[in-house]
């Protein structure tokens, strides 16, 4: 199975989202009085376009870790739009609309997830047991509600090359490399690296489970002024259930 570096899990998207995305749009996604179902109904697969999504939800999220292609071979392009859910103490979650679109800009599938900073899902709190439990207890045809009962709420989403929705569960540990402790050098070209364990849950167009993929990555990225945009993922292992 060919997998390339385009299947980033967008873990850094939250910190790399520009303020202009809030100023110029995404307010419908930030409106807690509007349900996910109502927002999803604003786009029609096979008819709505990326331009339609941009009119509704504003500027696309940008950043070095945003998912830009479908999994695993990049047949479709992907875009993410994010709204900020705010409480008395500030932003507590991001609600994102993910769309996959073809070469003509026509949307082939779309979905919403909410990344609540106050909560951890089961995969984040106990990755090994959650992954083992998912492979043991989840089967083709299972509903999304069963996946949530096993793994908790997904923080991110993506799409397979056939257009199927992917829920992404991820646990990533990054630390500074030795060179990043050298004074002045780290400001210019310091680096950091680590490991990421991810579980991709694939759903068919009836929103029932189609497959599970466990993927381990080695990540390296820049943290200095000259290399802040550098980001690389290397696939170490892939296991799928079906």
Residue 8 lies in a domain: no
CA 63 – CA 104 distance, rounded (Å): 23
Give burial (CB, 10 Å; 0-12/13-18/19+) of 25.
Answer: buried
What would the pLDDT profile of 133-169 be if each residue is shown by its tens digit?
A: 999 999 999 999 999 999 999 999 999 999 999 999 9
What would the pLDDT profile of 167-187 be if each residue is shown by its tens digit?
A: 999 988 766 666 666 665 566
Which residue range is the domain that position 47 belongs to?
A: 13-240
Half-sphere exposure of 178 (CA within 13 A, CB side): 0
Give the least confident one: 16-20, 158-162, 170-174, 197-201: 16-20
Residue 167 lies in a domain: yes
What would the pLDDT profile of 91-137 be if each residue is shown by its tens digit?
A: 899 999 999 999 999 999 999 999 999 999 999 999 999 999 999 99
CA 158 – CA 135 distance, rounded (Å): 20
Q: According to the model, what pLDDT value does residue 222 have?
A: 72
Residue 111 lies in a domain: yes
Number of domains in the chain: 1
Residue 2 lies in a domain: no
Residue 108 lies in a domain: yes
CA 128 – CA 133 distance, rounded (Å): 9
């Amino acid at each position: 199975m060919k997998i390339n570096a385009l299947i980033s899990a967008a873990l850094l998207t939250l910190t790399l989202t520009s303020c202009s995305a809030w100023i110029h749009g995404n307010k419908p996604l930030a409106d807690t009085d509007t349900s996910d179902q109502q927002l999803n109904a604003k786009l029609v697969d096979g008819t709505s376009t990326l331009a339609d999504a941009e009119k509704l939800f504003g500027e696309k999220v940008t950043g070095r870790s945003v998912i830009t292609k479908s999994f695993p071979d990049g047949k479709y392009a992907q875009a993410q739009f994010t709204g900020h859910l705010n409480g008395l103490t500030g932003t507590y979650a991001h609600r994102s609309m993910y769309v996959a679109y073809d070469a003509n800009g026509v949307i082939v599938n779309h979905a919403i997830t909410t990344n609540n900073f106050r909560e951890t899902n089961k995969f984040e709190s106990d990755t090994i047991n959650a992954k083992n439990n998912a492979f043991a207890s989840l089967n083709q045809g299972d509903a999304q509600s069963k996946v949530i009962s096993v793994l908790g709420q997904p923080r991110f989403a993506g799409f397979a090359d056939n257009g199927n929705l992917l829920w992404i569960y991820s646990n990533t540990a990054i630390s500074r490399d030795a060179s990043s402790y050298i004074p002045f050098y780290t400001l210019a070209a310091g680096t950091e690296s680590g490991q990421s364990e991810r579980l991709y849950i694939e759903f068919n167009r009836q929103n029932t489970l189609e497959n599970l993929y466990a993927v381990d990555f080695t990540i390296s990225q820049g943290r200095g002024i000259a290399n802040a945009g550098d980001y690389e993922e290397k696939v170490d292992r892939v296991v799928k259930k079906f």
